[in-house]
Structure 1
């Protein structure tokens, strides 16, 4: 008979292991000496020790699921409870019990983490819904439309909530987009109707202008052309594909009349040449306003120049496009500066930019606090994960701040 602190072999070759509940039969050994029997079953015990150690390491250092971890623990517990090994089996049971506690703790931690992530996702989606509902009332069709498309991309990148909450928020989000699309469609439908009405009016004006082009009643006809021009401007713009054609016919009819009048009043040629010289000087004076640095002053100066321009009278027909083009270039520059100033000072757009920046700054601050907390708790894995999330949020914040600077703030 042979024995050691945890087991023995009796004279019949039966191997026993000692436990807190007394001796348990491990197995029967007939192939060799008692020492060989004990050594064999001690190796089986060491194998269990290694397996439990590996499982402990996996639970502590990997993202092994609670379900898989418990299955592995149960499998090892069955082997320990089968008493087919010689060693401190009670100690192995204690380690397995502690491992169960650790798995339960990790499960609760992951549950809490999922809850936090879900709440963050909820807040992010509620913010998207709020912004979408505000954009739904916007008249900035292009900018609001682009922003809504960007919000959809952001939404797709967020995790899903519980089905009810996610569906409710998506319904509001989708409804806001639909409302904006409906308003935009109505706006452009109305705009198309207005342009169609403008086309109808301008076709009538063109017809009358062409009928007057052969008139030799110089004074009244010229006055009538001025009336037609005023009506033309008041009619608004027709569709792009019609506007240029109608304008060319309208202007062409006037050109025919005024060319005929010019041939009759040849003595006015000299006057028109002088007019051209004056307008070229005014065009040069207007061009000195560029580039626009003081919009208000440039606008006032151009208005005065334009009043003097209008008072000068006609210039030779062949020179008119070039000199008028110079003035139009300055006028377009002022208009573009006005549009830029309007966009820069638009309170609605500025408020949206400030709101987004504030939300992103709050998210960044919150993440920094969570990172500090994770570091303080020694949770490096969570801290690193939060730092990666912080990089993305910080990039969005930097972009938002850059956009806000365009509003001068």
Structure 2
């Protein structure tokens, strides 16, 4: 007979293991010595030790599901309870019990994490819906349309909620987008209708202008051309593909008439030369307004110059484009300053910029906390991944902050 602290072999070759409940039969051995029998079943015990160790490591360091972990634990426990090994089986049961507790703890942690992620996803989607519903009433067609498309991409990147909640939020989100698209479509349909009306009006004006181009009734015809020009401006813009052609024909007809009149009234050349000098002087005065620093003062100054400009007669045709171009350049600069002032003081654009900045700041703060947590837990790969994402969000935040500064902070 042979024995050790955890088992023995009797004279019949039966192998026993010692437990807190007394000796339990492990098996029988007839192929060799009692020492070999004990060594064999001790190796089976060591195998169980290794299996438990590997399972403990998997539970600790991998995403092994609770269900798979419990199945593996049950498989090992069956072997331990069957007493087919020689060793401290109670110690193995204790480790298995602790492992069960660990699995349950991780199951609860993951459950809590999933609940937190679900709450965060719900809040994010509710925020997207709220913003989409605000944008649905916007008349900033290009900016709002681009932002709505960006919101769709953001939505696609968020986890799904429970089906009922997700469907309800998506219905509101989709309804807001549809409402915006419907309003935009109606707006541009109306705009197209207005431009078509403008095209028909301008075609009539062009036909009359071309009919008058050969007139020699200089005074009456020139007056009528001025009326036609006023009607042209009041008609609004036609479609882009028609506007330039109609304008060239309209302007060309006038040029024909005024060129003929100029040849008849050659004596007026001197007067037009003087007019050119006056207008060049006024153009120079207008250019002194730039750059625009005080918009109100600039408008008043340009209005004064323009009133004097309008009081001056024609200039030589070959010089008209250049001198008028100088005035138009000043006028465009003032208009651009007005548009810039409007954009800067637009409360809707400011609110959108501030809202985006706040969202990005929250995202940056959250990512920074996750990076620190991952570093503290020693999860270097996750920390590096989060840090790269943080860099991207920080860049977007910097850009948004810069844009917000344009609104005066």
Partner residue, 1:144: 144
CA distance in 2, matches of 1:222, 1:38: 124
Per-residue deviation, 1:128: 0.7
Q: Relative to structure 1, is the Cα distance of residues 20 and 392 closer, same or farther in structure 2, using a 3 angstrom cutoff? A: farther
Pairwise mapping of residues 15-164 of structure 1 onto structure 2 (< 5 A)?
15-164=15-164
Partner residue, 2:341: 341
Classify the secondary structure of the residue corresponding to 1:12: coil
For residues 176-218 of structure 1, the C-alpha deviation after alignment (integer angstroms, 9 at most, x for no partner) is 1111111111000000000000111111111121222222222
CA distance in 1, matches of 2:395, 2:7: 65
**Does 321-330 or 363-372 show the bigger shift?**
363-372
RMSD: 2.2
Partner residue, 1:304: 304
TM-score (norm 2): 0.93
Partner residue, 2:174: 174
Instruction: Report whether the alignment pairs 1:257 with 2:257.
Output: yes
CA distance in 2, matches of 1:392, 1:169: 28
Instruction: Report whether the alignment pairs 1:216 with 2:225.
Output: no
CA distance in 2, matches of 1:321, 1:370: 64
CA distance in 1, matches of 2:399, 2:167: 30
Classify the secondary structure of the residue corresponding to 1:139: coil
Classify the secondary structure of the residue corresponding to 1:339: helix
Per-residue deviation, 1:127: 0.6
CA distance in 1, matches of 2:153, 2:321: 48
For residues 303-354 of structure 1, the C-alpha deviation after alignment (integer angstroms, 9 at most, x for no partner) is 2221121111100111111111122122222212221221121111101111
Q: Relative to structure 1, is the Cα distance of residues 368 and 13 closer, same or farther in structure 2, using a 3 angstrom cutoff? A: same
Count of matched residue positions in the alignment of Structure 1 and Structure 2: 407
Per-residue deviation, 1:362: 3.9
Partner residue, 2:246: 246
CA distance in 2, matches of 1:83, 1:395: 63
Pairwise mapping of residues 326-365 of structure 1 onto structure 2 (< 5 A)?
326-365=326-365
Classify the secondary structure of the residue corresponding to 2:151: helix
Per-residue deviation, 1:49: 0.9
CA distance in 2, matches of 1:105, 1:74: 17
For residues 45-66 of structure 1, the C-alpha deviation after alignment (integer angstroms, 9 at most, x for no partner) is 1111121112112212222221
For residues 60-90 of structure 1, the C-alpha deviation after alignment (integer angstroms, 9 at most, x for no partner) is 2222221221121111112112211100111
Gaps of 5+ in 2: none
For residues 116-164 of structure 1, the C-alpha deviation after alignment (integer angstroms, 9 at most, x for no partner) is 1111111111111111111111000111111111111111111111121
Per-residue deviation, 1:31: 2.1
Q: Relative to structure 1, is the Cα distance of residues 387 and 118 closer, same or farther in structure 2, using a 3 angstrom cutoff? A: farther
Per-residue deviation, 1:381: 4.7
CA distance in 1, matches of 2:31, 2:175: 81
Classify the secondary structure of the residue corresponding to 1:331: helix
